Amino acid sequence: MSSDVTKSLEQVYTPYPYHPGHSITLRDSNGNEFSVDIIHEYSFTISPAVVVNLHEDGAIREAVLKLYDRRFGELRKRREPDGRRRPQPHTEESEAAFQDFARSGMLGPVLDRLRHADLMWDLYRQVCTPPDEEDEEMKPERERLAEEEAEFYYKIQKRYTREVRAYGKLKCLQGRGIPRFFTAVTLQMPSAPPDLELHYFQVPGILIEKINGFNLSNLVTEMPAGPPDLWAEIVQKATDLAVEINRAGVLDGDSQPRNALVTRREDNTHQVCRIDFGEASLESDLKFRREDEPDYFKQCAATSSNPDALGLVMAAKVKRLTGVELDIVFDEIFPGIDGLP
């Protein structure tokens, strides 16, 4: 028997489809279909992100398309017995296992278990006991693949929902401190079977404004001549923006310099823009879960220290690289409110 015939489906990795030169058809939040042309792809992150050309009324404008595709991204990792995580690429075998899992009725209970684990953490900061490692290793490989695919689906859907809701909550900052949000979109997977629920095989995404700038973490390398006062001004703007985001009712679970872009305006001043809200929580969510603690969100904001994650980290980095100490002012997010006990 030829090696082509005996080759396991597990070895057939799903090819990455989001490359420059490709056109894809999307459906917006109103159900309208339209096509975009990919002109640039960003280095791989949690979710595929590309720059696209939008065709509108005879004009072309650039935008960033983020796609929450469970088949690709840094979330796809398997925990090994030694505790390390190794990449777990999407394959024909893992997709077939996922589809069989859905047909058997097992997908729903797994998703419910994942939601319950999140709820226990949100309500009580209680970590649910993970599955026994020996039991996991004893499972048939196909069952492990199916459960992992279900977890990848759950996690990426959660990031999409959080990001869309954060952009809605931060509408007052769009075009100023965060990118403008154009529309939510969906993309149909080519593997969607007709006998299963369609949403398991749709790739949600967002179209947002393209911000031209550099990563805040590269401040010194991008502006080696400074001067130090300008470094301090930019880091201060990033710190103040984090305070403003918290006060607007959003708690950022991934506040760090790599998620802030520095842009130069036409008047030669600089602006800081925050991106990536896939781990954000809203004040309304935390209030709902802790009705008896009206200041719970404010306490969480004080504990999480989103401004410190930008200001303190960048001040320390600048000092390490240049010896310059930046004088950064840290305003209280909610005056008089302490962190969680």
Q: How far apart (Å, rounded) are the C-alpha atoms in residues 66 and 50?
A: 7
Helices 141-169 and 107-124 pack at an angle, to 10 degrees, of 50
Q: Where are the domains of the chain?
A: 14-71+159-209, 77-157, 214-322
Alpha-carbon separation of residue 155 from 75, 113, 148, 203 (angstroms): 8, 13, 11, 13
- Amino acid type, 66: K
Q: What is the pLDDT along the chain (341 residues), one digit of tens a residue?
A: 344 433 444 468 999 999 999 999 999 989 999 999 999 999 867 889 999 999 888 889 999 999 999 999 888 988 777 778 888 999 999 999 999 999 999 999 999 999 888 877 666 555 555 555 555 566 788 888 999 999 999 999 999 999 999 999 999 999 999 999 999 999 999 878 999 999 999 999 999 999 999 999 999 999 999 999 999 999 999 999 999 999 999 999 999 999 999 999 988 899 999 999 999 999 988 776 666 777 888 998 999 889 999 999 999 999 999 999 999 999 999 998 887 76
CATH code that applies to domain 14-71+159-209? 3.30.200.20
* Nearest one of 251, 175, 207 to 68, comparing CA atoms: 207
Best CATH choice for the domain 214-322 from the list 1.10.510, 3.30.160, 3.40.50, 2.40.50: 1.10.510
* Nearest one of 228, 280, 234 to 257, comparing CA atoms: 234
* Nearest one of 197, 211, 166 to 184, comparing CA atoms: 166
- Amino acid type, 172: C
DSSP 156: H
Query: Which single residue is written with the structure tokens 């075998």?
Result: 93
